[in-house]
Structure 1
Amino acid sequence: MKNAVIVYYHPYNGSFCHAVLEATKKGLTTAGFAIDVIDLQADQFDSVMSSADLLGFVKHQMIDEQAKQYAQRLQRATELVFIFPIWWELMPAMVKGFIDKVVFPGSTYEYAKTITGMASSLPNLKQTTVITTMNTPKYIYQFVFGNALKKAMISGTLRKTGLKKVKWLSLSGVKSRTQAKRENWLRMIEKRMAVK
């Protein structure tokens, strides 16, 4: 069974991120995936790591019931997709909170004798794709801001916890792009997702 979990965040349903979500869903449906969308805004996810959550982290026991449910949904995923905007060169607080409270020892990874000291506990997961939108031009993001998201999330979280085949699709300079360019992006995303 092919199961795709999409972790999505944007507070405005008229955003380009929302169009990216729809294109992603369309492509994955064509590829025969069952789709499960975790919409952090719609779910009113509490992204704040409390002292109880932190103690749970130390004990490898999740406290937050919503985070537990999200982790269970990730366990069933064969494909994981993140879709969100980049704000001030990193992910929004809601996405960071998801990472803090759901990427959790004993639930999505274990400590192990590996180069990073961690190994994935998501045995069904074959590929992870991160799709982001931002207004910063790509070359400025890369050379001035050092590809901050790549360091923090792609390498520093996903690969570090043992996920394989992690890909990042960065849609940059969105605000200045023509409607035709945006539509090309959406077609490209749908096509990519349809051939999995």
Structure 2
Amino acid sequence: MRVLVLYAHPVETSFQAALHGAVVAALGRAGHQVDDCDLYAEGFDPVLSRQERVDYHDLAANRRNVDSYVERVMRAEAIILVYPVWNFGFPAILKGFFDRVFLPGVSFRMEDGKAVNNLRHIRKIAAVATYGGARWKALVVGDPPRRSVKRVLRAQIRPLASVPYLAHYDMNRSTEATRSAFLTRVSKQMERF
């Protein structure tokens, strides 16, 4: 399967970087074709410009600045997000990827004034996330990143698609043992992906 990995963390020595490495390695061992998109390393600009917003519904112009990323999404059969949760949301660079790349004609098309999902070729989406705080804190605020992945993104892809969400909560009090156990869990899940 062609898997697009969207990785969003600026520090190459972080635990998130170790998770990213584990995801890519496990997918490779499982025989998947991996398109590893490290948004920070690639210098992805998350800012939707004024002109891009003006051109948003113009299918002839809206891909102009992000066409290479659109092509990667359109070639993918699965997407895996690897990111930290910051302020109960996606890092800005990942949110900006969705704002700039999931355009009309890409993630949806308009038919009779209604948005119709356009990513039916995506068979699976998964997320590997870390949270600084405890799970109960995320639950109190509705766990927006989990909901975005499991509901919003799931609704845009093939119906009834598998959407694993792997999260390590309470990173602020994590230990070598909890991090190691999570790395093992992520590797096993990706080998079965």
So what's the TM-score if we normalise by structure 1?
A: 0.88
Whether the 8 Å CA contact 2:69–2:101 is kept in 1: the answer is yes
Matched with 1:149 is 145
The Cα of 1:76 is off from its aligned counterpart by 1.4
| Separation in structure 1 between the aligned mates of residue 166 and residue 62 of structure 2, nearest angstrom | 31
Matched with 1:52 is 51
Would the alpha carbon gap of residues 188 and 150 (structure 1) be closer, same or farther in structure 2, given more than 3 Å must change? closer
Would the alpha carbon gap of residues 178 and 112 (structure 1) be closer, same or farther in structure 2, given more than 3 Å must change? farther
Tell me if 1:174 matches 2:171. Answer: yes
The Cα of 1:152 is off from its aligned counterpart by 4.0
Matched with 1:121 is 119
Over aligned residues, Cα RMSD in angstroms?
1.9
So what's the TM-score if we normalise by structure 2?
A: 0.89
Counterpart residue type for residue 6 of structure 1? V
The Cα of 1:154 is off from its aligned counterpart by 3.7
> Of 185, 190, 193, which aligns to 2:187?
190
| Separation in structure 2 between the aligned mates of residue 57 and residue 148 of structure 1, nearest angstrom | 25
Tell me if 1:159 matches 2:158. Answer: no
Identify unmatched segments of 5+ residues in structure 2. Answer: none
Counterpart residue type for residue 35 of structure 2? D
Matched with 2:12 is 13
Identify unmatched segments of 5+ residues in structure 1. Answer: none
The Cα of 1:192 is off from its aligned counterpart by 0.7
Q: Which secondary structure state, in structure 2, belongs to the residue aligned with residue 22 of structure 1? A: helix
Would the alpha carbon gap of residues 184 and 77 (structure 1) be closer, same or farther in structure 2, given more than 3 Å must change? same
Q: Which secondary structure state, in structure 2, belongs to the residue aligned with residue 175 of structure 1? A: helix
| Separation in structure 1 between the aligned mates of residue 170 and residue 55 of structure 2, nearest angstrom | 40
| Separation in structure 1 between the aligned mates of residue 49 and residue 183 of structure 2, nearest angstrom | 38
The Cα of 1:34 is off from its aligned counterpart by 1.4
Would the alpha carbon gap of residues 160 and 195 (structure 1) be closer, same or farther in structure 2, given more than 3 Å must change? closer
Tell me if 1:37 matches 2:36. Answer: yes
Identity %: 24
> Of 132, 135, 138, which aligns to 1:135?
132
| Separation in structure 1 between the aligned mates of residue 69 and residue 162 of structure 2, nearest angstrom | 21
Matched with 2:69 is 70
The Cα of 1:151 is off from its aligned counterpart by 3.6
